[in-house]
Amino acid sequence: MLPIDLSGKRALVAGVADDGGFGWAIARAMAQAGASVCIASWPPAMGIFEKLLERGRLDGSRTLPDGSMLEFERIYPLDAAFDTLAEVPDEVLESKRYEGRGDFSIQGLASALEADFGSDSLDILVHSLANGPEVKNPLLETSRRGYLEAISTSSYSLVSLLQTLGPLMRAEASALSLTYLAAERAVPGYGGGMSSAKAALESDTRTLAWEAGRKWGMRVNTISAGPYASRAASAIGFISRIIRFYEANTPMERSLDALDVGYTAAFLASPLAAGITGSTIYVDNGFHAMGATMRTPEPEAETGG
């Protein structure tokens, strides 16, 4: 038996606000493999999430195969659009949606982790963060502000998290992020600069693998997941159609399960993947390998000359 063993390791999954997405599935898989798990959640969504946890509404999703429950060591507030609290605009600081959350910046997260667990306390960082305020807009109709906000939250935030949390991570640590095939192929409907943000994320993964590997001995990879009807993805508006298209054209005739991504993340964070870094790992039932789809029209008949 060759188990994925994360016993004695601490994981931080940034970007969990419900039990319906890849972030939750990754946290669940990490816990199942023996890791202790902290999560970071967007402040405006934390209140509802915490109430659901307290009232047992998520107990079904929290139950692991051995009957134990997924527990979180800490739940931290995080708005990854801000490196420090000093950068937060007054209208955000004064918003009731952020009230009582303290320092929800990336630096605030690092300070809270160090206060809770010390300076050598983190083994796994998972970046499950993405936001494009104009994602429904075609790129030709995307504003500069919308484009830059997509890049800031969806890709630069990984750079900032590694800058800030790198010194807290133990030897042989691992960082993971989530990307999508729109980084390398056109996906109509996935707009607002989000395709550019995912392309930047994949490029940064390669560079960060080199830099963080040489500086801290850390591995950095990204998982390119197929479409999945999480609450966040459903907001895009065409997720059901793209899922049906994938299912009709993937080599594996099956629906993608969030735990497919969760288990891959647990493997990549484990010693079994010690030789893997700087890589984009596809978890999409093989769709990325296809050069033509089942719906490709037949070529027109050639005429003789």
User: Does 304 reside within a domain?
Assistant: no
Measure the CA–CA gap between 253 and 285, rounded to whole angstroms: 8
User: Does 189 reside within a domain?
Assistant: yes
- Exactly one of 76, 98, 147, 180 is catalytic; which is it? 180
Tell me 302's DSSP state: P
**For residue 301, pLDDT beyond 50:** no
User: Does 297 reside within a domain?
Assistant: no
Task: Name the pTM for this structure.
Answer: 0.93
Domain ranges, residue 249: 10-285
Per-residue pLDDT band for 299 (boundaries 50, 70, 90) equals: very low
Say what percent of the chain tops pLDDT 90. 86
Sheet order of strands, 36-41 included? 75-77, 36-41, 10-14, 122-127, 169-179, 219-225, 280-283
Number of domains observed in the structure of the chain: 1
User: Does 118 reside within a domain?
Assistant: yes
- Exactly one of 76, 98, 147, 190 is catalytic; which is it? 190
Measure the CA–CA gap between 256 and 264, rounded to whole angstroms: 13
Please tell me the least confidently modeled range out of 2-16, 150-164, 227-241: 227-241
pLDDT in tens, 63-121: 999 999 999 999 999 999 999 999 999 999 999 999 999 999 999 999 999 999 999 99
**For residue 304, pLDDT beyond 60:** no
User: Does 36 reside within a domain?
Assistant: yes
pLDDT at 127: 98
User: Does 303 reside within a domain?
Assistant: no
Per-residue pLDDT band for 235 (boundaries 50, 70, 90) equals: low
pLDDT in tens, 108-154: 999 999 999 999 999 999 999 999 999 999 999 999 999 999 999 99
CATH number at residue 102: 3.40.50.720
User: Does 168 reside within a domain?
Assistant: yes
Whether 98 is a known active-site residue: answer no
**For residue 300, pLDDT beyond 50:** no
User: Does 200 reside within a domain?
Assistant: yes
Per-residue pLDDT band for 225 (boundaries 50, 70, 90) equals: very high
